[in-house]
Amino acid sequence: MSGQDDLLVDVTDLAAALASEDPPTVLDVRWRLAGPSGRADYLTGHLPGAVFVDLDTELCGPPGAGGRHPLPDPAVLEEALRAAGVRSGRPVVVYDGGDGLAAARAWWTLRWAGHDQVRVLDGGFPAWRAAGLPVTTGQPAPEPGDVTVQPGGLPTLDAETAAGRAAGGVLLDVRTGPRYRGETEPIDPVAGHIPGAVNLPAAEYVGPDGRLPAADVLRARFAEAGVRPGTPVGAYCGSGVTAAQAVLALHRAGYPDAALYVGSWSDWLTDPARPVATGGAGAATGGS
């Protein structure tokens, strides 16, 4: 399957691949932060052959001490991926409702699980519809897959290593400026950011349609935030979904070792002894 690069595939190339004798496995991961599940959207219409996989219950673990979207249990993830027909050595394409967030987290999760042939449909479901390509309401019954989940395919950060990345590299906080500065917090109980983190809101490197710009554009934007070759870089957000898109963008920009703080701010706050910074300078304010 050809495509824009090894991360994204456009609708024309995907349509051709789906019509071939060896089509990729396609996962519909449409999702909303505040719910309800994207399954209803899937049932209304989806790409031919696509199988719905739920981000909240199958691609992530249950919310708790690890944050709102922690790592999934490997056995649970493996069962879900096999049920969706994911096979070792066979390409997978993931798509969402167009903002690119759930698809990026699905891409990241599969890569973390050791499956390296994963691409994101550029523009998601809206791009497919806009191209006039076929949509179906039928629910496929894929042949069970044989994928084996092997955690560690992509690097992760926990609270301790995230703090170290902020101190000895670049830790990107990709939430909006007001959340980073501690002026407002609509979801988590405490506002602010990890001391030393650099604010680079997602809207500054992702297009309004959820698409990533070209690699050179991304490199320039990340460079403005202090990301340079040889400098360790990581990303976090509220619960590790928007930050997964940042990691995808960093890969496209040429930083394949970028690490995701999966638990992100929702995990950082689970220990009240961890410092919280506010304002633009990153000064710590003591516990949370």
Q: Are the beta carbons of 38 and 54 closer than 8 angstroms?
A: yes
* Domains detected in the chain: 8-130 (3.40.250.10), 156-284 (3.40.250.10)
Distance between CA atoms of residues 202 and 271, nearest Å:
26
Q: How far is CA 67 from CA 149, 242, 265, 286, in A?
A: 22, 14, 8, 21
Q: Are the beta carbons of 118 and 138 closer than 8 angstroms?
A: no
For the whole model, what pTM was predicted?
0.95
- The total of other beta-carbon atoms located within 10 Å of residue 49's CB is 16
Q: What is the pLDDT of residue 5?
A: 66
Q: What is the pLDDT of residue 92?
A: 98
pLDDT digit string, tens, across residues 132-157: 999 999 989 999 999 999 999 999 99
Sites in the chain below the pLDDT cut of 50: 1-3, 282-288
What residues are labeled active site?
237
pLDDT digit string, tens, across residues 198-251: 999 999 999 989 999 999 999 999 999 999 999 999 999 999 999 999 999 999
Distance between CA atoms of residues 279 and 268, nearest Å:
18
Q: What is the pLDDT of residue 6?
A: 86
